[in-house]
A and B are shown apart, each in its own frame.
Chain A
Amino acid sequence: MEFAGLLHYLPAGALAILWGLVELAQTFESDLWRALRSRWALIFLAGNVCLTGIVLVMLDLAFPLEPRQRFLLGLFAGFGWQALLRTRIHLFQPLGEQHEAVAISILDLYRRFQRFCWRQIDQALIAERMALLDRASNLPLDYLRHQFRLHRHASLLSDFEQREAEFWKRLSQLPEGEQRLYLAAYLLRIGFDFLKEAVKRAPSQGSSVRE
């Protein structure tokens, strides 16, 4: 087959990537950039493109069309197929029993593949967060206190003011390791990159930070 005959695979692939990105954005809203950097996100997007390609090959074989019509078929496969994939299975019923059976198995395959990728991305993100929290909880206590207070004073949204005094009182009664964990967890909640920067800028263990 000539290269021109394969051009309609491009819009189909582009739409498959777009659909995949939308799904990733919806699922990993708070950690989107880190999720996209994960290799499992790339595998998911590649899988999406492959699946759309397979569907388009099947359609190409079933309906030999003119080049212009093939372009529309490419759009249909990229957009329509993905839309059908995400809706209820009864939409496939008019195609007949044999086709429906194929559609169900592809849908099932897609769902399993998607769930697997989600789990892998999730685990990678959580493991990364845990590792950063672990590193941050080894920083000097004074430095963490300083960062915490800096953020509290700098923040326009002074939430939980009534609880803050009680928090400090109870925190000071905990062992030092736990105090560091709580303060690091607070900073992690501000943002992964925020804490990462704080860890980078941190003085080495032993030196103190003026409060």
Chain B
Amino acid sequence: MSETVLASPRKSDPLEIVKTLSDVTRKLREITRDLTTQAGESPSAVEALASWQLSMLLDLHIAHLPLAIARVEAQASRHLSMLHHQQEREEARRKLRKDILVELSRRGRAFPLELAAAILTFVEDIEPVLRALEKEGLVRIRRVAGTEVIELTPRGRDAAPHLNGL
């Protein structure tokens, strides 16, 4: 007699569920083949066995499919939401970068606090952007009279008007 597929998939892994369902389908094909070969020996036993196997397989499909679909949907939604947030953060960072360069180009050098206040944000928000701009050679951060002063480099001065369409 053919073996049955009863292994329950791990609940947290939709891929496992799909894999199990695929195994079930494969087994269903094997059972059908076995039943066909055994049909001549005891038709009533074969019929009972087939009925039991089929109902079990249907139960498995019915029990697992909605769960698998729901999990796949939830995961896809989580990924989309993460992607959306990442895009929003990236967009905010790009905007901040542009505002910093334009502000420095308009009104000259500034303290970090001054610069943050001028573009209506906070020092902790502009700090990573400033470090990135410094690495790119668009701004220079100097220590003068015990404080940090941010100013545009010649490259930054060239880039700023294009950012603001000046």
Which residue numbers of A lie inside 8 Å of B, CB to CB?
29-31, 119, 122-123, 126-127, 129-130, 133, 159-160, 163-164, 167, 170, 181-183, 185-186, 188-189
Contacts and interface: CB of A to CB of B under 8 A. Distances in A.
A126 B151 CA distance: 13
Interface stretch (B11-19, B44-52, B56-64, B102-110): B102-110
Contacts of A123: 144-145
A186 B120 CA distance: 8
A31 B99 CA distance: 21
A185 B113 contact: yes
A108 B147 CA distance: 29
Contact of A188 (B114, B116, B120): B114
Interface in B89-147: 99, 103, 107-111, 113-122, 144-145, 147
A189 B118 contact: yes
Chain B at the A interface: mostly helix, strand, loop or mixed? mixed
B107 A130 contact: no
A136 to B, nearest CB: 11
A119 B149 CA distance: 13
B28 to A, nearest CB: 58
Contacts of A159: 99, 119
Contacts of A119: 144
Contact of A126 (B107, B121, B147): B147
A181 B113 contact: yes
Given A30-B107, A159-B119, A181-B113, 15 more contacts: A29-B108, A31-B108, A123-B145, A130-B111, A160-B119, A163-B120, A167-B120, A167-B121, A170-B122, A182-B122, A185-B111, A185-B113, A185-B117, A189-B115, A189-B118
Interface of B: 99, 103, 107-111, 113-122, 144-145, 147, 149
Contact of B145 (A130, A133, A185, A188): A130
Contacts of B120: 160, 163-164, 167, 186
Given A30-B107, A185-B111, A122 B117 contact: no
A30 B145 contact: no
**List of 8 A-B pairs having minimum Cβ-Cβ separation, nearest first:** A30-B108, A186-B117, A185-B117, A189-B118, A167-B120, A126-B145, A160-B120, A163-B120
A189 B114 contact: yes
A170 B124 CA distance: 12
Contacts of B113: 133, 181-182, 185
Contact of B147 (A130, A170, A182, A189): A130
